[in-house]
Structure 1
Amino acid sequence: MTTLRLVELTVDNVDDACDLKVAKPQRDYVSSVARSLAEAYVQPDIAWPRLVYAGKKLVGFVMAAFDPDNPTDYYRSYLWRLNIAAKHQKKGYGRFAVEAVLAEARRRDAASVTVSWMPGKHSPQPFYLRLGFKPTGEIDDDGEIVGRIQL
């Protein structure tokens, strides 16, 4: 069995991270890793970016936001981004990444984690619902459906 692990970004892996691409139909639903890293760079106090490795192979990227004082409840503990490389999907790597974010949220004493998605044919909505996220009835600032999972 391949060992899955999260790795912090470094000068040695950032190029590979920026080259990671999701499946083409999903590109309208998730920002690139490069954009995510730019967002993390300008919000270092809340961003929690990690690379997902299966053995020595980079297979994904996940980023959470931990901002317990945010005035908007659903941005306090938030699964901000999930990118699994096109050829590595449907292997459990996305589930692993989300579970790692949930574990980090628990470590930080969060009561829940939120995520948002745009509905559509290639939306990640079914994936998040299978993991236990439930729509809250809220729509975020980008017009996306907000889902929450209790910890």
Structure 2
Amino acid sequence: MSPRLEDITPQNFETAVGIRVRPDQEHAVSPVVQSLAEAYVHPAGVAWPRLITDEGRAVGFLMAFFDIDWHGDGSLRRSGLWRLNIAAGEQGRGYGRFAVDAVAAEIRRRGGDECYVSWHPGPHGPEEFYLRLGFRTNGETSGGQTVGVLPL
């Protein structure tokens, strides 16, 4: 396995938006096309969308966020993993861990010391995955989702 991150370009856009998680996970993560639309409407530098490839094959998509105003009032700024979509047939091969590690490394490179993520609680959600990677719930929710933090 030699995964890497690629910028989203006109050449790989269709490939990126074609990534689909398992049907039982669709309720827990927005489709890639919605993530790209959200990246477009946020100020430059906030959203960091990337295609995850392995030996030229698209295996997933991630989008990080950097230095966002968490409460919308300037009182708290955070960075973390906004979206993670690993293609249905590629799950369980380490690509999710690779994605989290890549986002954590980019946050550290930018001077951050915590990585945030939120997830839908319940069956077929990613809670166990994030907890195994070291995220811990902090008692917060965001839009009905559980918030977790990973110290870097």
For 1:100 and 1:45, the matched residues in 2 are separated by: 16
TM-score by length of 2: 0.93
Aligned to 1:64: 64
For 2:37 and 2:69, the matched residues in 1 are separated by: 22
Percent identity of equivalent pairs: 51
1:24 aligns with 2:26: no
Aligned to 1:103: 105
Runs of 4+ in 1 over 2 A off after TM superposition: 68-73
Gaps of 5+ in 1: none
In structure 1, the residue corresponding to 2:27 is in which secondary structure? coil
Aligned length: 148
Distance 1:88 1:15, change over 3 A: same
For 1:66 and 1:42, the matched residues in 2 are separated by: 15
TM-score by length of 1: 0.94
For 2:132 and 2:31, the matched residues in 1 are separated by: 24
Gaps of 5+ in 2: none
In structure 2, the residue corresponding to 1:27 is in which secondary structure? helix
Q: Residues 1-151 of structure 1: matches in 2 within 5 Å? A: 2-43=1-42, 44-67=44-67, 70=70, 71=74, 73=76, 76-140=78-142, 142-151=143-152
Deviations 1:90-112 (A, max 9, x none): 00001001100000000011110
Deviations 1:27-68 (A, max 9, x none): 000000000000000013300010100111000000000025
For 2:69 and 2:60, the matched residues in 1 are separated by: 29
The Cα of 1:72 is off from its aligned counterpart by: 6.0
- RMSD (Å) for aligned C-alpha atoms: 1.3
Deviations 1:68-123 (A, max 9, x none): 555364x6102100000000000000100110000000001111011001111101
